[in-house]
Structure 1
């Protein structure tokens, strides 16, 4: 992975259009952004309300401490984000209060290698799990009922 300085990163995003320079803040312009706004802008959650709810439920930690929705996010913070997509441990690279294209959102943070490996390992485990087969329509056959009884520990 190649890491670019902020100015080079912003220049490389010029093809995205107006989002590249308007909504990303360098260190000198804005020093912090609300946690729920940043999580929404970084596309970890589809709505700001969902991001705030995740903070309230303790699914977001900032530098090892539980994060409330109004907590300030600063460049360099280490966040642990637990959502439906898995557990993400990310370092904040840029700040944004506005949700833009996914290409811009991915430049706001860098996922740690350990986090990426752990998510890949969990995905492989899920693939290796036996496939769940839903019941067919109608009444189960005698054979199916016996199998269900065995699974439930009744016979």
Structure 2
């Protein structure tokens, strides 16, 4: 009989949201994981029907609804059976264009001078 609840870091690792369990734990400690709207600790319990929100990149997140609790990690083909993905669709304008300009330097031009360094820092917003 499958368990009724389990640790959130272990569940995220088991459904392949993170490559290692320690990465899942670090995401919880950073505050990148929420269960039903509240920040989750790595040892927080997750139950069937809970909504788990995981920040993936700045401004993007995955919203998952738990359908079953896992004891062990499963293959990528089976991982989708353990959650429903309610994530919003990515905004095409954000994904196709870069938000920050890129500083280009000629290859072989050597180390930037102090003046060049200031320009690069200013371009990057620093």
| 2:10 paired residue number | 37
Q: Work out whether 1:56 is the aligned partner of 2:56.
A: no
**1:129 aligned residue (86, 95, 98):** 98
In structure 2, stretches of 5+ residues that fail to align are: none
**1:138 aligned residue (108, 115, 123):** 108
| 2:62 paired residue number | 88
8 A contact 2:49–2:67 mirrored in 1: yes
In structure 1, stretches of 5+ residues that fail to align are: 1-27
8 A contact 2:2–2:70 mirrored in 1: no
Aligned residues: 116
Give TM-score scaled by structure 2 length: 0.76
Work out the CA distance in 2 between the residues paired with 1:58 and 1:137: 40
SS across alignment from 1:125: helix
Q: What stretches of structure 1 move > 6 A for 4+ residues in a row?
A: none
Deviations 1:91-132 (A, max 9, x none): 1111112111111111111111xx232xx21x5422133884
**1:110 aligned residue (78, 84, 96):** 84
Which has the greater radius of gyration? 1
Q: Check 1:111–1:138 CA distance in 2 against 1; reply closer, same or farther (3 A cut).
A: same
Deviations 1:26-75 (A, max 9, x none): xx631011111100011111000110111111110101111111111110
Give TM-score scaled by structure 1 length: 0.63
Q: Check 1:70–1:151 CA distance in 2 against 1; reply closer, same or farther (3 A cut).
A: closer
